[in-house]
């Protein structure tokens, strides 16, 4: 068995659980609000999330550039960028649960919670030597 297979299985299980939960919440919302209002809310989440991701992404990019120009390593700005990218992706996925997590990844006052978790996770991976970057051959 390959080394990454258990991680893929665990990810697949979480993905299936999340999809079932999203569908259940959408069905409940449609029963409560009606199909049109539910669709409008889902669409509003995508549009608002895209605008927020664009604004916050631009801020993170400018901060990373500023830090690099002053000779600093833009670690926090890069982690912010990763959180913003994940938040934007979650907002594109239809569903209210993914929208809630996506928005909290995009908001500047809730993003530090995720950034701290991501930092600690990456630090554990680096210290244990289990951090790998996969890619194709350089050209």
Nearest-Å Rg of the Cα atoms of the chain is 18
User: Which sequence spans correspond to the domains of the chain?
Assistant: 5-127
User: Is the whole-model pTM more than 0.85?
Assistant: no
By mean pLDDT, which of 3-17, 21-35, 44-58, 85-99 is the weakest?
3-17
Q: What is the pLDDT of residue 65?
A: 87
Cα→Cα distances 138→132, 133, 134, 135, Å: 16, 13, 12, 8
Check residues 119 and 8 and name the one with the higher pLDDT: 119
Other CB atoms closer than 10 Å to residue 106's CB: what's the count? 26
Q: What is the pLDDT of residue 25?
A: 94
Q: What is the pLDDT of residue 91?
A: 87
pLDDT tens digits, residue range 42-67?
A: 999 888 888 888 888 888 888 888 88
Contact 89, 110 (CB under 8 A): no
At 42 the three-state DSSP class reads helix
d(CA 31, CA 41): 14
pLDDT tens digits, residue range 70-96?
A: 888 878 888 888 898 899 889 888 899
DSSP string over 71-129? T---HHHHHHHHHHHHHHHHHHSSSHHHHHHHHHHHSTTTHHHHHHHHHHHHHHHHHHT
Nearest C-alpha neighbor of 115 from the set 79, 84, 70, 68: 79
Q: Is the pLDDT of residue 3 over 80?
A: no
Q: Is the pLDDT of residue 12 over 80?
A: yes
């Amino acid at each position: 068995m390959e080394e990454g297979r258990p991680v893929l299985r665990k990810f697949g299980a979480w993905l299936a659980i999340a999809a079932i939960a999203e569908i259940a919440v959408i069905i409940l919302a449609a029963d409560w609000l009606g199909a049109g209002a539910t669709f409008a809310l889902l669409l509003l989440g995508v549009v608002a999330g895209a605008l927020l991701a664009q604004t916050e992404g631009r801020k993170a990019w400018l901060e990373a550039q500023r830090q690099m120009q002053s000779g600093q390593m833009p670690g926090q700005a890069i982690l912010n960028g990763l959180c913003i990218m994940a938040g934007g992706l979650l907002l594109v996925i239809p569903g209210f649960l993914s929208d809630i997590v996506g928005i909290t990844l995009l908001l500047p006052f809730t993003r530090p919670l995720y950034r701290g978790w991501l930092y600690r996770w990456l630090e554990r991976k680096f210290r244990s030597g289990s951090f790998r970057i996969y890619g194709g051959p350089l050209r």
